């Protein structure tokens, strides 16, 4: 009897993720994330200030990245569901990335995500005024960031990478 209850419990836990896959993005069911570390240290839910793995895992589900990954190919791809970039180009010298942003993404308060948001985020990380796990990686790579227009950002690197 005990084994039957365990099996029923396991199958009932699988029903929610399966059902969650049947609805579109942003619709309906909760996201369930397993925790095998034994402790939860969420800390700040600001992705710029996430220092713990648990925090990074949660914020990765809440905030899009600039370059999304195509779920089929596992490569960075334009218009990927988890990315802001509709497309991008790289200068011949490999130093300047021009990123065109999708225009169909909004914050939870209804405000559209724009180049100002991307520039603000990257400049905050590069300012070295906040403690961010991303600072050390980006400070050695990015030379400058600028808004070209409301949905275009230009990132200049220190060297081709």
Q: Residue for token digits 């095998």? A: 36
Q: Nearest 5°: phi and psi at 14? A: -75, -20
Give the CATH class of 84-161.
alpha beta
C-alpha dihedral over 79, 80, 83, 85, to 10 degrees?
A: -20
* Whole-angstrom distance, CA of residue 84 vs CA of residue 69: 11
Residue 70, classified by CB atoms within 10 Å of its CB into exposed (0-12), middle (13-18) or buried (19+), is: middle
Q: pLDDT 10s per residue in the chain (161 long)?
A: 444 444 444 444 443 444 444 455 556 667 666 666 656 667 677 777 777 777 777 777 778 889 888 888 889 999 988 899 999 999 999 999 999 999 999 988 899 999 999 999 889 888 867 777 777 777 788 999 999 999 999 999 999 87
How high is the pLDDT of residue 148?
98
Domain extent listing, the chain:
1-32, 84-161
């Amino acid at each position: 009897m005990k084994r039957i209850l365990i099996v029923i419990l396991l199958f009932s836990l699988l029903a929610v993720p399966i059902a969650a896959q049947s609805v579109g993005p942003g619709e309906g069911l909760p996201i369930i994330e397993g925790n095998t570390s034994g402790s939860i240290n969420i800390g700040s839910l600001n992705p710029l200030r996430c220092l713990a793995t648990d925090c990074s895992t949660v914020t990765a589900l809440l905030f899009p990245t600039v370059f999304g990954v195509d779920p089929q190919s596992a490569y960075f791809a334009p218009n990927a569901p988890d990315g802001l970039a509709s497309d991008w180009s790289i200068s011949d010298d490999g130093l300047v990335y021009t990123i065109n942003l999708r225009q169909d993404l909004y914050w939870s308060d209804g405000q559209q995500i724009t180049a100002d948001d991307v520039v603000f985020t990257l400049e905050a990380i590069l300012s070295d005024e906040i403690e961010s796990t991303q600072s050390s990686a980006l400070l050695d790579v990015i030379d400058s960031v600028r808004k070209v227009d409301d949905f275009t950002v230009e990132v200049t690197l220190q060297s081709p990478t």
